[in-house]
Amino acid sequence: MTAEITNTTMNILNQVLNGDVRAAAKLIRGIEDDIPEATAAMGEIYLHSGRAHIVGITGAPGAGKSTLLGCLIGEFRKRSKKVGVVAIDPTSQLSGGALLGDRIRMQKYCTDKDVFIRSLASRGWKGGLSRAAINTVHVMDAMGKDIIFVETIGAGQAEVDISHVADTSLVVLVPGMGDDIQMMKAGIMEVADIFVINKADREGADGLRISLETMLDGSPRQHEISHHSGINDVSPETPPDPGAHRPDEWRPSILLTEAINNKGIRELADEIERHREFLTSSGKLAERRRERAKLELTMAVETTLRSHLQKTDECYLDTLIDDLVQRKTDLNTAALKVIKLPTEL
Amino acid sequence: MTPERKVRILIAKPGLDGHDRGVKIVARGYRDAGFEVIYTGVHQTPEQIADAAIQESVDLVGLSCLSGAHLHLFSEVARLLKEQGAGDVTIIGGGIIPREDIPRLKEAGIKEVFLPGTTLEEIVNWTKENVSPK
Ligand SMILES: Nc1nc2c(ncn2[C@@H]2O[C@H](COP(=O)(O)OP(=O)(O)OP(=O)(O)O)[C@@H](O)[C@H]2O)c(=O)[nH]1
Ligand SMILES: [Mg+2]
C-alpha cells in the first residue's frame, strides 16, 4: 500500500529540509507521541537522510558525557560543522515522568542556529534506543546536520543500543570507579571505537589507560569478527602490533580528556574524524549502514505487525480466540490468519 | 494501545541569581507527577530559554526569578516565543514577585504567577488542569 503524499507531509518535509528548527522539533514530538501525520512525514524524511556522521556516546552516569558533548559541539563548530545532539535520559518507572538534565552542560550553544539539541526520555526502552530516538537522528540528518551525537547511559546491555546505530561509538570512562570490571561485564570492550578517559585530572587515569590497552591487545573487536569472514587469516600466534595492523582494521583508540577544563578535546575531535575517514576508506561504513538498515527494518516490521493487530476487527479476533480455547485451531495458524487479514488503514 | 502523550516542560532560571534550590524541587516534583521535564540550569538569557523551548517542543515553560528582574526577563521570553511562532507555549513564573506586578506579567503573556508559599501540589495541579500536549 503506497501512502499518498499529503500536503501536510510535503510542508513538513520542505521545512525540515530547509533546516527549520521549529518544524523539525514538532515532528520529533509527533513521532514520540505516535501521531499519524508525523509517521507519514517521517517516511519522506527518511529518504532524505543518510549523510550525517552519527556518533554514539555512552558511559556510566556522571562520567561527564554531557560536559564532553558541550566541548565537542564547540570544537566541531570551529570546524564549520553543523551539529545535532540527541540526549537520552531514563524515564522514571514509578511515575512515567523524566528529568532531562543533559542540556544544562550544552546550553551555551543553544542559540547557535547550526546547533540543534534535543532531549528524549527513554519511555520504557530501558536505556536502549527507541524508534523515536533513531528517527530523531534521521530528522537532524535531513535538516543538514553534518555530525550528530547521541548520548545514552550504558552500552552493551540493551537490546538495541546506540552502538548498533552509530558510525562511531565513544565509551566514556573515569579513573577509579572500578570501570575495568564493569565494562567487561557490560560488553563495552566490543562496542567502543574510541575510549575516552575523562576526568583525567583525577588520579588513576594512566593506570586505567594501561589496563585498557592490555585488554585491547587480547580482544579484537566483536563487530569486526562476526561480520568478516576473512578474520581467520589473522593467525592467533601473530603477536599484536599496535603500530602495524591491517588498513581495514580499527584498533580502538584511548584518549584522555578533562572536559571541565576543555582539555584533550581537539585531539578527541581529530580522532572522531579519523575514524570516519577509516570507515569510508575501508568500506566499513557501507557495512555498518547495512547493519543499521537491517536493524531498523526489524524494528519497523515489529511495529507494523503490532499496529496491524491493534487494527484487526475485534469480532474476528474473538472468533479466533474462541477457536483457540476450544482447540479447533492452533496458535500458528491463527497468527497467520491475523497477519494475512486486510485491515483498513 | 497507543502510547499516551506526555506533557513536556522546560524549567529555567533567567537572570543573574544562582539560587536553584526551588526550581530543582519543582522540576523533580513535575517528574514525579509524570511529566517530562527539561532543566536548563541557572543564568539563562531569554534567548537561550526561548530557543531551548522550541528545540525541545515543550508545552510549558516555567520560569523562576529571585533577583527582581522578572518583569523584563519573563516578558522577553514571552515576546521571543511569539516572535518565533511558538506563542502557543504556556508560560508560568515564580519567585520573589510583588503582587502588584502580576497584572503586567499576565498582560505580557505569563499565564500564571506562583508566589512564595505556593505548594508543589498546587503547581502540579494547576499544570494538570491547564496544560495538555499540543
Ligand atoms: N573533575 C572533573 N569533573 C568533571 C569532568 N568532566 C565532567 N565533570 C563533572 O562530572 C559531573 C557529571 O558530568 P555530566 O557531564 O553531567 O556527566 P554525564 O555522564 O552526562 O551524566 P549523566 O547524563 O547523568 O549520565 C559534573 O559535575 C561535571 O562537572 C572532568 O574532566 N573532571
Ligand atoms: Mg548527561
Distance CA B10, CA B44 (A): 12
What phi and psi, each to the nearest 5 degrees, are found at residue A114? Answer: -100, 15
Kindly give, in sequence order, each residue whose CB lies less than 8 Å from that of residue A148, ignoring residues fewer than 6 positions away: A52, A53, A54, A55, A83, A84, A85, A86, A137, A140, A141
Q: What would the mean pLDDT of A309-316 be, rounded to a whole number?
A: 89
Q: What would the mean pLDDT of A49-76 be, rounded to a whole number?
A: 95
Distance CA B60, CA B26 (A): 13
Q: Which pLDDT belongs to residue A298?
A: 87
Integer angstrom CA distances of residue A64 from A24, A153, A268: 28, 11, 14
Quickly state the pLDDT bin for A42 (edges 50, 70, 90).
Answer: very high
* Residue whose CA is at the smallest distance from ligand 1 atom 7: A64
Strand order of the β-sheet with A98-100 is A98-100, B36-39, B8-12, B60-65, B90-95, B112-114
Distance CA A112, CA B28 (A): 28
- Chain B residues with beta carbon closer than 8 angstroms to that of A96: 6, 34
pLDDT at A338 over 80: yes
Kindly report the average pLDDT of chain A as a whole number.
Answer: 85
Q: Which pLDDT belongs to residue A217?
A: 80
Q: Which pLDDT belongs to residue B18?
A: 85
Q: Which pLDDT belongs to residue A159?
A: 53
Residue A60's nearest CA partner among A162, A161, A173 is A173
Higher-confidence position of A307 and A275:
A275
Please report which ligand is nearest the Cα atom of A68: 1
Q: Which pLDDT belongs to residue A241?
A: 47
**Test mutation, B1, B5, B7, B38, chain A, max A CBs within 10 A:** B38
Kindly give, in sequence order, each residue whose CB lies less than 8 Å from that of residue A298, ignoring residues fewer than 6 positions away: none
Distance CA A157, CA A178 (A): 18
Domains of chain A (ranges, CATH numbers): 1-48 (no CATH), 51-282 (3.40.50.300)
Residue B14's nearest CA partner among B51, B42, B52 is B42
Q: Which pLDDT belongs to residue A227?
A: 39
A171 - beta bridge partners?
Answer: A58, A195
Query: DSSP per residue over A160-179, as a string?
Result: S-GGGT-SEEEEEE-TTSSH
Residue A36's nearest CA partner among A311, A293, A296 is A311
- Contact assignment for A26 to B57 by CB distance below 8 Å: yes
Q: Which pLDDT belongs to residue B4?
A: 72
B83 touches A: beta carbon within 8 Å: no
- Chain A residues with beta carbon closer than 8 angstroms to that of B38: 100-101, 103, 119
For B5, which residue in chain A has the nearest alpha carbon?
A: A33
Q: Which pLDDT belongs to residue A186?
A: 60
Q: What would the mean pLDDT of A101-109 be, rounded to a whole number?
A: 95
pLDDT digits (tens, 9 = 90+) for A207-262: 889 888 888 887 544 444 443 333 344 444 444 444 445 677 899 999 999 999 99
Please give, rounded to a whole number of angstroms, the shortest distance from the CA of B99 to a CA of chain A: 31
Quickly state the pLDDT bin for A341 (edges 50, 70, 90).
Answer: confident
In degrees to the nearest 10, what's the CA dihedral of A189, A190, A192, A197? 0
Strand order of the β-sheet with A253-256 is A115-121, A83-89, A147-151, A53-59, A168-173, A194-197, A253-256
Q: Which pLDDT belongs to residue A154?
A: 62
Q: Which pLDDT belongs to residue B94?
A: 94
DSSP 8-state secondary structure symbol assigned to residue B2: P
* Residue whose CA is at the smallest distance from ligand 1 atom 3: A199
Which of A22, A107, A116 lies nearest to residue B84, judging by beta carbons?
A: A22
pLDDT at A156 over 90: no
Which of A97, A116, A310 lies nearest to residue B37, judging by beta carbons?
A: A97
pLDDT digits (tens, 9 = 90+) for A160-200: 677 788 999 999 999 987 655 566 556 666 788 999 999 99
Kindly report the average pLDDT of chain B as a whole number.
Answer: 94
**Candidates A58, A67, A162, A261: which one to mutate for ligand 1, based on the most atoms within 8 Å of Cβ?**
A67
Contact between A338 and A312 under an 8 Å Cβ cutoff? The reply is: yes
Integer angstrom CA distances of residue B2 from A34, A35, A39, A111, A180: 7, 10, 13, 35, 41
Structural domain spans, chain B: 8-129
Between the CA of A87 and the centroid of ligand 2 the distance, in Å, is 7
For B81, which residue in chain A has the nearest alpha carbon?
A: A22
For B31, which residue in chain A has the nearest alpha carbon?
A: A97
Quickly state the pLDDT bin for A4 (edges 50, 70, 90).
Answer: low
pLDDT digits (tens, 9 = 90+) for B21-72: 889 999 999 999 999 999 999 999 999 999 999 999 999 999 999 988 999 9
- Contact assignment for A103 to B38 by CB distance below 8 Å: yes
pLDDT at A90 over 90: no
pLDDT digits (tens, 9 = 90+) for B90-123: 999 999 999 999 999 999 999 999 999 999 999 9
Residue A343's nearest CA partner among A303, A304, A299 is A304
Q: Which pLDDT belongs to residue B87?
A: 95
Choosing among 3.40.50.280, 3.40.50.10540, 3.30.565.10, 3.40.220.10, the CATH entry for B8-129 is 3.40.50.280
Which residues have CB under 6 Å of ligand 1? A 59, 61-67, 102, 105, 153, 198-199, 201-202, 258-260
* Residue whose CA is at the smallest distance from ligand 1 atom 29: A260
- Chain A residues with beta carbon closer than 8 angstroms to that of B34: 95-97
